[in-house]
Amino acid sequence: MLLSVENINVSYGSARVLSGISLNVNQGEMVFVVGRNGAGKTTLLKTIAGFLEPDNGTIRLNGDDIAGVPAEQLVFKGIRYVFQDKRVFTQLTVRENIQLAAFPSREPLDEAIGKVTNIYPKISQFLDSKAGGLSGGQRQLLLLGRALIGNPKLLLIDEPTEGLAAGIIEEVFQILEMMKGQLSLVIVEQNLAAVSRLADRVYAMKEGTIAAELHKSDDIEKHGFLEQYL
């Protein structure tokens, strides 16, 4: 097992946001987290990524307890986080955005650029343009490509298709499909078509708790009960 979250509680001040969350991710597995707005999905990802510290419980990556380890250190343990709002560093060029991700992992810039162009070939046309000039879809593809720099073990992606045009959503699906099996992913997503097409396992969240867990073998689409959590 790559990631094991056991019984964590997370609070913002005195308000508890996550209660008794447990979740497992195997090597190469693609896990989706679904739920309504405010269910605690993003908080869960931020806690795994080291942005928030759980009140109690454990988060283990390859057996090491990483609960409360700062985000910048978790990057070196192989965790990457792609934010929901598709924000790149707008004042930097696309090349500099990639360079910045390549530097901590000591990955040569050419290889890093290669990883991004591998999933989005057109980005090579914009390497010396300011990233602020990219469309929302292009930014998302850049962020997904950039997250692969440094050979991560676990990718946490928050709502990768939110607010994107239909054509780009399909492109994102294909990229996620391409990633499948190569690394482990935890994806927060509201798009049930994506969930049923790609998920190995689904956790449905409700009011800060895990309300249901489904496996691929459970035939996620046929059950049809995921809708009740969206």
Partner 1 sequence: MNPARLKALRRFDLPILAVGFVVLGYLLTIQRTTDFIIFCIFVLAYDLLYGYMGRLSFGHMLYLGTGAYAAALSAEHLSGNPFLAIFVAILAGAAIGAALGPIIVRTTGACFALINLAFNQMGYFLALIAFARWTGGEDGMSAFFDKVGPIDFSKRGVVFVFSLLCLLAVVFLMKRLTNSPFGILLRTIKENETRSRFLGYNTFLYKLIAFVISTTIASFAGALSILNYTYVTPSFIDTSRNVEVIFASLIGGAGSIYGALVGGIAYMTISNYLPNYIQRWEMFLGVVLLILVFWFREGIWGYVSRFAGEARGQAR
Residues that bind partner 1 (CB under 8 A): 49, 51, 70-72, 75-76, 80-81, 83, 87, 89-93, 96, 99-101, 103-105, 128-130, 150
- Closest contact distance (angstroms) between CB of 87 and partner 1 is 7
Task: Indicate the residue among 3 and 210 with the shorter CB distance to partner 1.
Answer: 3
- Closest contact distance (angstroms) between CB of 220 and partner 1 is 30
Spatial separation of the C-alpha atoms in residues 151 and 79, rounded to whole Å:
9
Query: Are the CB atoms for 64 and 76 separated by under 8 Å?
Result: no
Task: Indicate the residue among 109 and 178 with the shorter CB distance to partner 1.
Answer: 109
Task: Indicate the residue among 100 and 211 with the shorter CB distance to partner 1.
Answer: 100
Q: Which run of H or of E encompasses 16?
A: strand 15-25
Q: How far is CA 222 from CA 196, 197, 212, in A?
A: 9, 12, 15
- Closest contact distance (angstroms) between CB of 226 and partner 1 is 29
- Closest contact distance (angstroms) between CB of 89 and partner 1 is 5
- Closest contact distance (angstroms) between CB of 136 and partner 1 is 16
Task: Indicate the residue among 12 and 103 with the shorter CB distance to partner 1.
Answer: 103
Helices (H) and strands (E) in the chain, counts: 8, 10
Task: Indicate the residue among 50 and 54 with the shorter CB distance to partner 1.
Answer: 50
Residue 35: other Cβ atoms inside 10 A: 24
Q: Which residues are paired to 61 by β-bridges? A: 3, 64
Backbone phi and psi for residue 130, each to the nearest 5 degrees, phi listed first? -65, 135
